[in-house]
């Protein structure tokens, strides 16, 4: 299994059902050392699934910055489905969370 941290639309039931075919069970956590901005989404498929033209995106911040979100346990196939959902503005990295876990997270490319 893989750990995926989401601070944005991957927490939405509609996006989870469309991308993974199920609702994900997650736990609250926080991404450390990053700050959040918004990015305009133009991909029609992503717009249809999320219902939002602006999505949050994170980039490195100060050491004490935190971005709240949820950490989900997913399969490798679901991680590939998450990769296909994210637009070119994002890249996937492994990052430390407040809980001490390390999870995949999509950050500004």
Tell me the per-residue pLDDT of 89-99, one tens digit each, with 9 for 90 and over: 999 999 999 99
Residue 83 phi, psi dihedral angles, 5° rounding: -60, -40
- pLDDT recorded at residue 51: 94
Across the chain, mean pLDDT equals 96
Domain 2-108 has CATH 3.40.50.1980: no
DSSP secondary-structure letter at 48? H
State both tokens at 55.
Answer: 């999505």
Band (pLDDT 50/70/90 cuts) for residue 56 is very high
Band (pLDDT 50/70/90 cuts) for residue 30 is very high
- H or E stretch including 96? strand 90-96
For the chain, what are the domain ranges? 2-108
- pLDDT recorded at residue 94: 98
């Amino acid at each position: 299994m893989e750990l995926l941290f989401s601070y944005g639309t991957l927490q939405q039931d509609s996006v989870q059902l469309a991308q993974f075919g199920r609702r994900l069970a997650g736990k609250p956590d926080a991404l450390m050392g990053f700050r959040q901005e918004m990015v305009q989404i133009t991909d029609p498929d992503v717009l249809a699934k999320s219902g939002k033209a602006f999505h949050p995106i994170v980039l490195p911040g100060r050491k004490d910055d935190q971005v709240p979100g949820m950490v989900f346990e997913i399969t490798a196939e679901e991680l590939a489905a998450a990769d296909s959902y994210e637009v070119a503005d994002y890249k996937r990295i492994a990052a430390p969370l407040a809980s001490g876990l390390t999870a995949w997270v999509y950050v500004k490319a």
